[in-house]
Amino acid sequence: MHIFSGIMALALSIAVPFGSAAPVPDDSIKPRFNWNKIKYVYAFGDSYTFVGGTQGYPKFSFIGSAFNFSYTPQQLLEDEIQLNVTGSDGASWLEYLTGCFQGRPAECAPRQLWDFAFSGADVDKTLIPLHHNFSVDLVDQVREWALFASDVIPHPAEETITAFWIGINDTGDTLNNSTLDFKAFWELEMQSLFGAVQNAYNHNLRGTYLFMTLPPLERSPDHIGTAIAPLYEQNIKDYNTALLNHTAHFARTHPDVNVLTFDTHQWFYDILDNAEQYGFTNITGFCQCSDPAFFWFNTGHPTARVHSLLAEAVETELKKAAGL
């Protein structure tokens, strides 16, 4: 992994604002972040992040759907993660990161994975229509968590990290819309996204927040080399710029939480540009198989092996952020 050393130092950083005029956040009120003490990993997002659960919508979620919006404490606590029910039919990055691959999250050690991501989720159904009538967008994932989970599963600040990884479907769903002012649209999306983050915060989800940037989907098998790829590339970069701006703003205005970012975009580039060093000999096609030569599992999702490498890279940065 040594080729990352230059870039990865920047990839995950405390999102404090630039500029000497900015007030210095009062770090004394931040919980200490120590990855080794983290016991609860919460997540919100889309197919890159979801894991299947016995109480979820089959192959879309760990728990709930638009038609099963509420759940009881018992359903939540008895819900079991289903092995390899993910966007790549293998383990996902958060399963590798937590070691929580199967069964009840509360029985996982050393870390519990509480994953509220929904496959195919956009940020906000008032901005982009739901993919299916049973889909749960990110705003509602957090709303559901706040209503039905926040008082049921623990989230002590020093033992909790919450990941947000969203926008993959949003940038894909809007790509063909020739009348859309994209930059203005990403700003609207950020207002919804950070409204949801604030909702989580208001329900006492504190500790550490981790925001993941969007990967370069213009390099995925169904877009690489197409006429629309340059626009896709630009939209993803602009979305990421808006995300990092709002992340910095959130950090500035919430000095009592740790705010980290992981630059998934740069990380994907590093792997794709140095693919052979990682044993990937096919980065343009895909294979719904376990052949380690393939980077892509299908037209828009990386393989379980990529998820495993991503988890390693994220963990390395989390340890660095904790000074380990």
Ligand X SMILES: *[C@@H]1O[C@H](CO)[C@@H](O)[C@H](O)[C@H]1NC(C)=O
Residues that bind ligand X (CB under 6 A): 47, 55, 65, 67-68, 75, 83-84, 90-91, 119-120, 131, 133, 168-169, 172-173, 176-177, 179-180, 187, 217, 245-246, 249, 282, 284-285, 287, 300, 304
Structural contact between residues 113 and 45, judged by C-beta atoms closer than 8 angstroms? no
The angle that helices 264-273 and 229-253 make with each other, rounded to 10 degrees, is: 140
The nearer residue to ligand X, 105 or 300, going by C-beta atoms, is 300
In the complex, minimum distance from the CB of residue 83 to ligand X, in angstroms, rounded to a whole number: 6
Across the strands, what pairs with 44?
A: 164
Nearer to ligand X, 159 or 189 (CB): 189
Reduce the DSSP state of residue 78 to 3 states and report it: helix
**In the complex, least distance from residue 220 CB atom to ligand X, rounded to whole angstroms:** 8
Residue 306 Cβ, how far from ligand X at the closest point, in Å?
10
Rounded to the nearest whole angstrom, what is the least distance from the CB of residue 5 to ligand X in the complex? 27
Q: Tell me how far, at minimum, the Cβ of 247 lies from ligand X, in Å.
A: 9
Nearer to ligand X, 8 or 43 (CB): 43
Give the residue with the Cβ less far from ligand X, 29 or 184.
184
282 vs 316 by CB, closer to ligand X = 282
Distance CA 159, CA 113 (A): 12
Nearest distance, CB of residue 48 and ligand X, angstroms: 8
Q: Cite the beta strand spans of the chain per DSSP E.
A: 12-14, 40-45, 55-56, 63-64, 112-115, 160-165, 208-212, 258-262, 282-286, 294-296
> Which tokens in the block code for residue 248?
């910095």
Q: What is the rounded distance in angstroms from the CA atom of residue 202 to the CA atom of residue 196?
A: 10
Which of 32, 274 has the CB closer to ligand X? 274
Element holding 318 (H helix, E strand): helix 304-321
